[in-house]
Structures are given as C-alpha cells and as structure tokens.
Amino acid sequence: MSQDPEQTTLFAAVDALLEEAAAQDGLPHPDERKRLREAAGLSQDQIAKALSVRRETVTSWETGRTAPRPPKRAAYARLLEGLSALHPAPGTPAPAPAPGTLPDTPSSPAAPAEAGTAEATATIPAPQPQPQPHPPTASHPPAPAPPSPVRHSRAPHSPAPRTTPPRTTTPHTAPLAVLTGTTHAHIGGGVLLDLPPKAATHLPTLIAWALGPDANLRSPRLHRNGKDGDPLLVLTAAATEALGLPLVLEDRRALRLPDTHPALKLLAQHKWQLTRRGFGPWARVYRPATPTTGRQCVQLAILPWGALDSRAWGEDTADLPAPELAELLTTYATRVLTPRGSTAVTGLELMTALRPPTRAARNPVTGAWESAPVPGSLTRPVDPAPPEAPDEHPVVAALYPRAHQRTPDQVLDEEAYDWFRDPQLLTDDECARTHAVGIDVNMAFAAAANRLVVGLGPATHTTAPRFDPKTPGCWLADLSSLPHDPRLPSPFTPHGRPPTGPAWYATPTLAYAQELGHAVHPTEAWLRPESGAYLDAWYTRLRDAYMATMADLGITPALTESEFLEAMTTYKQHDPIAGSVLSAIKSTVKGGIGKLRERPQGAGYRPGEAWAALERPTWRPDIRAAVISTARVNMHRKMRKLATAAGEYPIAVLSDCAVYLSPGPGPLDFLPRTPEGKPLPGGFRIGVSPGMVKHEGTQPLLWAVEMLDSQLNPARHIKGHDAAADGE
C-alpha cells in the first residue's frame, strides 16, 4: 500500500528535525575523538571511507579545526558513542553487564594495537608490560571538554605542578621530540619516549629511531596530494654535546658545520645525505627514496646554534625546560606546521603543504602513473616581469647597467607604509589633545591574503591595455594628477607622498584608484591571466591557529571592546608558552610573505647571477607585491573613512600601525561611533579577529610633536622602542 503524499512530506520533515537534533548533540572533545579511534585500532582512512569523507576531513575533526555537519555529524556521533562504550576513558567506571550476559574481560594496554588494522600493528608494536610505579599514561590523555576546542592554558601566575613525566605505553603520534642528552626524549603532553641504546650519543642511531615505529614521529599531510610531515628532532645544548657536535659554529657567515667534521663523516658512512644548505641550525638528513624504503628524511633543530630566533619565538624560548619546549613546538606544529627552518621558511613551506604543485595521475594512453600539476597551485618556477624583479635578478641585469638606479616607471615599488605628517599641518584642535595613541591591525598581511586573486602562471606583456581589476599583474600608469589631501598618506606610494609621474602598480592599487572615482588608463602591463585564490587555504590555517592561540590567552571574539583592551594589557602573562606560539604565528605570516621575494644571500654572490631561491615555484615577487598592495589599500580605506566621517586624521603610519592624536590615553577616546554607539562602519574596529585593531601604545602629545619635528616616525616608536628593529 503506497503512502499518502502528505504523509511522505510530513515524514521527511520529521526526519529533517531528527537530523537537526542529532546535529545539536555534543560531540566529545577533539582529543577524545582521536583517543577513541586509536584505542579501537582504526585508521583515519577507515573512518573517512565509512562516512564518505576525505581523510583530511577526519583530521580536521580530530584537531578541532572544523566540526562535522549533518548528515555526517549524526553518523560520526554514533560511531564515537559506540567506541566510547567499548573503550571508556581511564577512570570511567565500566558499564554494568546486561542481564544474562557475562562481563567482558579487561583488556591489556596492548589490546587496542593487537585488535587494530594491519597498518597499525606494522607501525606500532604492542609494548611489553613492565612494572610501573604509576598507572600507564597515554600520550594524549583525555580531558574534560572545554568550552571551545583549544589547548588548556595555565592559570595566571600559577606555575604548573612539577611531576615526573609519564612514559607512553599506548600508541601515540607526535610531530617532534626534544632531546636532552639522556636516554629519553620529550614529546607534547609531558610524555617521555625511551631511546634505544646509543641513540643519545650516536647520530645515525638517533635518526633511525626517529624514523621507526617506536618513535612514531610524524604529522599528517595537509592536502591529499601532499606528504606527511617529516620527524623533527630538537637538540638542546646537552644533546648537542652528547652527539659530539660543537656548541658554537665556527663558521659564523655560512652557519654550517664543516664537511670534514667527524659527525658528518659518520652520517656519510651510514649512507645519510644532507641538503645543499648543509648541517646548520636547521639540518635536513635524508636518504634518496626508493620503492622499498619510501621517503626517509629527518629534520634537526639545534638550539645552541640559534635555531629558534628570539625575534620570532620570544626571548629565552630556546632555554625553556624540555617538557615546556616540546609542548610549545608541538602546539605550533599541530596548528600551523612542523617547523622546517625559520618561521619565514615554515610560512613558505606551509603554502606548498596546503597546495602541493603536483599529484599522481594515470596516463590515459599508457596506464602508467605519472606526475601531473595540481589545479590552483604554483606548479613551476616562472620568471618575473622586469618591473617585479629585484635589482639582483638576471632579468634586470640584462636591461640596465649594474650601477643603474631604477625609477618608478622601471620598477614596481609596492611596499608597506612608512609615513608621517608634516608638523606644520597639525590643527589647533589636534594640538589641544593630550595623547598620541597607536592602533595596530591584527594579522594585517594575512587578512590581505584572504580571497586575494593572484597570478599562477607566467606574465605576458601588453601595450595600451584596458584596466581590469580582476586580472593580476602590474600596470604602468600615471596617477600624479589625482587630488591628494596632505593630512593623509597617498594610497599609491609606500612613503605616502603623491606620485610625480608614471609608475608601475600592482592590480589592487590601481583598482583602489578606480574605486576612488578616478579614470585609470595604463600604457602597458605585465598580466597573468591564469589566476586563483592561491593563499586562501594558507590564510585560513594561520587565522585558525592565531584565533585558537588567542583563546588560550583568554582573548576571544565574545569580549566587549573594553574587555578586549583590558585583557590585552596582560594577556601574555596568562600563559607564556601560548605567548611564544602567538609570536611565532605572527612571524610566520610576515616571514612567509617576505620569502616570496627572497633576495640572494652569501658573500660569494655576484649581481646578475641566478640564486637558489629562483628554482622554487613559490619564488613569486608579484604575489608578495599584491599582498602588500592590498594591505596598504585596506589601511588607507579605513583612514579615509575616519577622515571623511569624523574629521580624524593620522599623524603617522608604519606598516599596519597608525597613530592618532587623542583627548585620552586609549583607542576608545578617539575612534568615532555611530549615533547608536556602534563602531563606525568601514573604519577601524577593536577586536581580536584578523583585520580588526588593538591598542599598540600611547605617548604624550609633546613626545609625538618632538618626533615629528625631528623627522622621525612616531608609529615606529609608539611602544617605547623601535618596532621595526624588534621584528614587528
């Protein structure tokens, strides 16, 4: 008997309500989701196949980056509920057996591995039971779910209790380990891993252990066509000495160990090789991949050689106790990427990890697998357009004599603001104010990269083009006749003075001129019709890492403006480890953008020669120019809104920091409001999110006037020190 159509419709509506109700059910904390899967011996691939999602999606669910949505959420919740019944958290009383059934036999710690997949048993052997003074502790112990999926922070001014780090007896995965010259290694969560004999003093043995199942040091790939992260071994001073390495590199220029050093000879005897950068603060040791062995590569970070730059990671980070350092670096690795060098190098590597250049594809003719480009990625190195290239580039050397200074109509000059106002233009009203207040845009360059369309392929030259704001490239145009208010910096130059003739501009700059109502008539251009939002995934990952770390520090979008400003005065004291992670994330953003136009390094370089960075698909000065152009335009747009709507003009701008004269010491004393008391639409808004602003610093009015009279930029010193010199 067929159902009535109305009844079918009603049933469908009820099913939708049930699905919505299932979506509202709370899921376990991400750490608990991962524990349940590992306890059952299931792989992420198995769960992904069962739920018809990608493995990367399961990874995101287990790290808290994303949450499952209907209808997958209800199925995932059902799976976790079933696994929770089979593998309750330690300390949770087992459920009473049903009437007429026998209770299950308690399983040993090795049971999950023995009951798991062949892959699990092949990579993580079941540990033999050993007498222990304390109960066995997993490398990722479950914890009560916090209000948001972020790492627990230490309470303010309350040091964490000192306890003996537990040794792991259950399957674990960690991206890195910190070595202290003893017979064990520290990983995140305060867990110790036992080293095999000789590993603490024999570098080849240590590397072999790092690649083996006992260490299980790796991190999941961030893209299905990418590769899993290589193990990272962090060597403290004690570990460096124990391995026979010097505490100080004698070659301070090249920052690498001589090839004749006994440690390098020992590596060569065991068939290990080094990359072109040699054995320095960030050394990469590898063996060429073969069909049988696959990829074998280990990264070393040698702390006494300056692997962790204090400008990026914060003061004294390299001197932290090993458990805290392991926690800090693991948090960064989980949220951003396992460090592969400086934060700048890691920022660039993150782009490639999120958008790999190639993928495996089957040849339709031969049926063989071969390498194919990934759509939307940077797949091959391309030459820059002549205006985009730095002075040292072979393209420039072929056009101009070595001592030639290129003019604006010969070189693209898209840089961040460094401008301050003529003190003669200060008004009586401004001079009656008492303070100079700096506001700083959060993650300005990351925000500029969001949804930014950039060129993916080579540039093509054209004359007398019609300007298209959707086409990435650089354009030669004359904007010198456009009107300019001297109380604001020009949006078209980094120094803030109006242009004096034809100059090269990136697409976002000319698009802004068009937005201001000016006719734009380029005379020539270098354009990249193949384009895409290449940096979107990069922005999203760094934004999520930044927001999660700010939440660790007690700063969330739920705070009011006043609460946010108050919390920001002491937020770094809330959790010093999270403060260092935050510093590294910010440095990753700026350094990654800077690496897109890496200049030649080394005393042996000669202008006009090619250098190693040019071989990378990610050596793209045009993308760097587009990001900086967008950030500068975004800054000017907000300053212009304050000027036209409230008559507020900055006295100085440095990159993402603007200084205004104010009747009070804080941003709320001068930022305009609507009649309803809300922030001015289109202006600066106070808050934690990227693109919003925070309080940068306050100085007296006379201090600011003296800086202007001395031809110094107040925005550079508003915090009481030289921000640029400190890497800000």
Model confidence pLDDT, tens digit, residues 604-636: 788 889 999 999 999 999 999 999 999 999 999
Q: Examine the pLDDT at 531 and tell me if it is beyond 50.
A: yes
538 within 8 A of 350, measured Cβ to Cβ = yes
Q: Examine the pLDDT at 132 and tell me if it is beyond 70.
A: no
Of 536, 535, 546, 538, which Cα lies nearest the Cα of 688? 546
Residue type, 704: A
**Confidence at residue 11, expressed as pLDDT on a 0 to 100 scale:** 64
Residues 221 and 115 in one domain: no
Any domain includes 36: yes
Q: Examine the pLDDT at 196 and tell me if it is beyond 60.
A: yes
Residues 46 and 177 in one domain: no
Cis, bond preceding 71 (omega within 30 deg of 0): yes
Q: Examine the pLDDT at 314 and tell me if it is beyond 60.
A: yes
**Confidence at residue 90, expressed as pLDDT on a 0 to 100 scale:** 66
Q: Which tokens hold the place of 193?
A: 């891993």
What do you get for the CA distance between the two ends of the chain, in Å?
Answer: 74
Q: Per DSSP, what are the bridge partners of residue 694?
A: 440
Residues 70 and 173 in one domain: no
**Confidence at residue 144, expressed as pLDDT on a 0 to 100 scale:** 37
685 within 8 A of 679, measured Cβ to Cβ = yes
Of 453, 468, 452, which Cα lies nearest the Cα of 520? 468
Residues 59 and 206 in one domain: no
| Residue 53 pLDDT class (50, 70, 90 cuts) | confident
Of 98, 120, 102, which Cα lies nearest the Cα of 40? 120
Residues 82 and 200 in one domain: no
551 within 8 A of 557, measured Cβ to Cβ = no
| Residue 308 pLDDT class (50, 70, 90 cuts) | very high
Q: Examine the pLDDT at 315 and tell me if it is beyond 70.
A: yes
Residues 117 and 179 in one domain: no
**Confidence at residue 552, expressed as pLDDT on a 0 to 100 scale:** 95
| Average pLDDT for 279-296 | 90
**Confidence at residue 171, expressed as pLDDT on a 0 to 100 scale:** 56
655 within 8 A of 614, measured Cβ to Cβ = no
- Phi and psi at 533, nearest 5°, equal -85, 65
Percent of residues, the chain, with pLDDT higher than 90: 69
| Average pLDDT for 40-59 | 83
Q: Between the CA atoms of 570, 575, 581 and 586, what dihedral angle is there, to the nearest 10 degrees?
A: -10
Say which residue, 682 or 252, is predicted with more confidence.
682
Of the candidates 340, 370, 396, which is a domain's last residue? 340
Any domain includes 286: yes
**Confidence at residue 201, expressed as pLDDT on a 0 to 100 scale:** 96
Any domain includes 25: yes
Q: How far apart are CA 404 and CA 306, in angstroms?
A: 37
| Average pLDDT for 444-459 | 97
Q: How far apart are CA 363 and CA 172, in angstroms?
A: 38
| Residue 441 pLDDT class (50, 70, 90 cuts) | very high
Q: What is the CATH number of the domain that holds 71?
A: 1.10.260
CA 673 to chain centre: 34
Q: Examine the pLDDT at 309 and tell me if it is beyond 80.
A: yes
Residues 115 and 191 in one domain: no
Q: How much is the mean pLDDT over the chain?
A: 86
Q: Examine the pLDDT at 107 and tell me if it is beyond 50.
A: no
| Average pLDDT for 269-289 | 94
Residues 219 and 273 in one domain: yes
| Average pLDDT for 423-428 | 96
**Confidence at residue 126, expressed as pLDDT on a 0 to 100 scale:** 35
- When mean pLDDT is compared across 247-261, 375-389, 639-653, 702-716, the lowest value belongs to 247-261
**Confidence at residue 110, expressed as pLDDT on a 0 to 100 scale:** 32
Q: How far apart are CA 247 and CA 305, in angstroms?
A: 7
Residues with Cβ within 8 Å of 387's Cβ and at least 6 positions away in sequence, in order, are 410, 411, 412, 474, 476, 504, 526
- Looking at mean pLDDT, say which of 21-25, 124-128, 418-422, 722-726 comes out highest: 418-422
Any domain includes 320: yes
278 within 8 A of 256, measured Cβ to Cβ = yes
Residues 72 and 192 in one domain: no
Say which residue, 93 or 435, is predicted with more confidence.
435
Residues 179 and 84 in one domain: no
CA 597, 598, 603, 608 torsion: positive or negative?
negative
**Confidence at residue 574, expressed as pLDDT on a 0 to 100 scale:** 80
Q: How far apart are CA 98 and CA 20, in angstroms?
A: 31
Q: Which tokens hold the place of 172?
A: 């674990």
462 within 8 A of 471, measured Cβ to Cβ = no
Domain that holds residue 35: 14-88+111-123
What does the pLDDT look like over 552-574, one tens digit per residue?
A: 999 999 999 999 999 999 988 88
Instruction: Give the three-state DSSP class for 695.
Output: strand
Residues 171 and 79 in one domain: no
Any domain includes 63: yes
| Average pLDDT for 94-105 | 38
Any domain includes 152: no
Residues with Cβ within 8 Å of 377's Cβ and at least 6 positions away in sequence, in order, are 355, 356, 357, 456, 534, 617
Percent of residues, the chain, with pLDDT higher than 70: 84
**Confidence at residue 636, expressed as pLDDT on a 0 to 100 scale:** 98
- Phi and psi at 449, nearest 5°, equal -75, -15
The DSSP H or E segment spanning 286 is strand 282-290
Any domain includes 148: no
| Average pLDDT for 357-364 | 90
Q: How far apart are CA 452 and CA 197, in angstroms?
A: 52
Q: Examine the pLDDT at 102 and tell me if it is beyond 70.
A: no
Q: Examine the pLDDT at 96 and tell me if it is beyond 80.
A: no
Q: Examine the pLDDT at 147 and tell me if it is beyond 50.
A: no
Of the candidates 325, 340, 355, which is a domain's last residue? 340
According to DSSP, residue 482 is labeled: S
| Average pLDDT for 38-66 | 81
According to DSSP, residue 131 is labeled: -
Residue 172: how many CB atoms within 10 A of its CB?
A: 19
Q: How far apart are CA 292 and CA 289, in angstroms?
A: 8
312 within 8 A of 343, measured Cβ to Cβ = yes
538 within 8 A of 378, measured Cβ to Cβ = no
Residues 219 and 79 in one domain: no
Residue type, 405: Q
Residue type, 432: A
Q: Examine the pLDDT at 489 and tell me if it is beyond 80.
A: yes
| Average pLDDT for 544-556 | 96
| Residue 54 pLDDT class (50, 70, 90 cuts) | confident
Secondary structure of 540-589 as H, E, C letters: HHHHHHHHHHHHHCCCCCCCCHHHHHHHHCCHHHHCHHHHHHHHHHHHHH
**The sheet that has 473-478: what strands, in order across it?**
460-463, 524-527, 473-478, 502-506
Say which residue, 349 or 141, is predicted with more confidence.
349
Of 619, 618, 600, 621, which Cα lies nearest the Cα of 609? 600
Q: What is the DSSP string of 607-634?
A: TTS--GGGGSTT--HHHHHHHHHHHHHH
Number of domains in the chain: 2
Any domain includes 654: no
**Confidence at residue 504, expressed as pLDDT on a 0 to 100 scale:** 98
Per-residue burial over 28-62, b = 16 or more CB atoms within 10 Å of its CB, e = otherwise: bbbbbbbbbbbbbbbbbebbbeebebebbbbbbbb
Q: Per DSSP, what are the bridge partners of residue 463?
A: 524
Of the candidates 323, 340, 357, which is a domain's last residue? 340
Q: Examine the pLDDT at 140 and tell me if it is beyond 60.
A: no
Q: Examine the pLDDT at 158 and tell me if it is beyond 70.
A: no
**Confidence at residue 165, expressed as pLDDT on a 0 to 100 scale:** 54
| Average pLDDT for 137-153 | 37
| Residue 25 pLDDT class (50, 70, 90 cuts) | low
Q: Examine the pLDDT at 108 and tell me if it is beyond 90.
A: no
| Residue 125 pLDDT class (50, 70, 90 cuts) | very low
